[in-house]
Structure 1
C-alpha cells in the first residue's frame, strides 16, 4: 500500500493489563503490513504507554487508535475517564521513579502529543494521542 494513502484502525480493548501486549503486537503488525517499519519500535513504545495508562488508571473499556494521514502517524488511546491525564514530569526527574514515566516518554519520543475530552457510544472519556512524522 503506498505511503500517500491514508488509513485508520481502532482496536477496542477490555480493562485488562494483557491488553497492553495485544495492542503492542497489533500495532507492530499494522505498521509492518503498511510498510512503515521505520516507525515500529518507537510506535510500539508510545502505544504501549498510552494503552497502559488507559488500562491502569481508569475503569472500563479502552481503545487504541492508529491513523496514517499525509505522512503523519497518530497513535492514541481512548479511555472512559473524562479527567485529564496527569501532566508529564520532566523526563530527567522521572527516570528513577517507579511510576509516572509514561507521558514523559510520550512527550520525549513523539513530535507532538496532547489529549482531548471525547465521547464514544454515549460514554464520556478522553483521548490521549501522539504523532510521529515521516521525517523521523
Structure 2
C-alpha cells in the first residue's frame, strides 16, 4: 500500500448516505489492502454519517473523506453545522448508556473503538473524525 491513498465523496442528505458511506469505506480498505479493521471503520463511519444526517436539519452537504496511511486509516465526515457534535473527550468515569434508549451510543462507540477522535471547524461547518491504528499481523 502506498503511504497515503485518499477518497472523497459527497453524500446525499438522507438515510441513504449511511450504506453508501459504509460501502465506500469497505471498498477503499479492501482494495488498498489497508491494515485497519474494516468492520470497525464501517461501524464508526456509519455512526458519524447517521449523526450528520440526523442533526444537521437537511441543510448543506455531507462529505466523507477516507485517508489510508501506513499506520492505519483516518476518516472524516464533513457537514454544514458548525456546532460541536457533543462530547468526544474521553472521560475517566465510565459512561453507561441507558439500555432502553435508541440513541446515545454513537459517540461512546467512537471514543471507545477508535485510536483517536475529535472535531474541527471548517469553512462550511465542521468535520468529525476518527483514526484506527493498523492491526497487528497474525503470527
TM-score by length of 2: 0.84
Take 2:17 and 2:116, find their aligned partners in 1: how far apart are those partners? 24
SS of structure 2 residue aligned to 1:81: coil
Structure 1, gaps ≥5 residues long: none
Give the structure with the higher percent helix. 1
Hey, what does 1:71 align to over in structure 2? 71
Of 104-113 and 67-76, the range deviating more from structure 2: 67-76
Choose which of 101, 104, 108 in structure 2 pairs with 1:104.
108
Structure 2, gaps ≥5 residues long: none
Q: Any residues of structure 2 matched to 1:33-72 within 5 Å, and which? A: 33-36=31-34, 39-58=37-56, 59-72=59-72
Of 87-96 and 11-20, the range deviating more from structure 2: 87-96
TM-score by length of 1: 0.86
Measured after TM superposition, the shift of residue 126 of structure 1 is 0.3
Of 65-74 and 89-98, the range deviating more from structure 2: 89-98
4+ aligned runs moved over 4 Å, structure 1: 88-91
Measured after TM superposition, the shift of residue 5 of structure 1 is 2.2
Of 17-26 and 94-103, the range deviating more from structure 2: 94-103
- Kindly indicate whether structure 1 or structure 2 has the higher relative contact order, using CA contacts under 8 Å at least 6 residues apart: 2
Quote the RMSD (CA, aligned, Å): 1.9
Measured after TM superposition, the shift of residue 36 of structure 1 is 2.3
Hey, what does 1:92 align to over in structure 2? 96
Contact 1:24 1:47 (C-alpha < 8 Å) held by counterparts:
yes
Take 1:95 and 1:114, find their aligned partners in 2: how far apart are those partners? 25
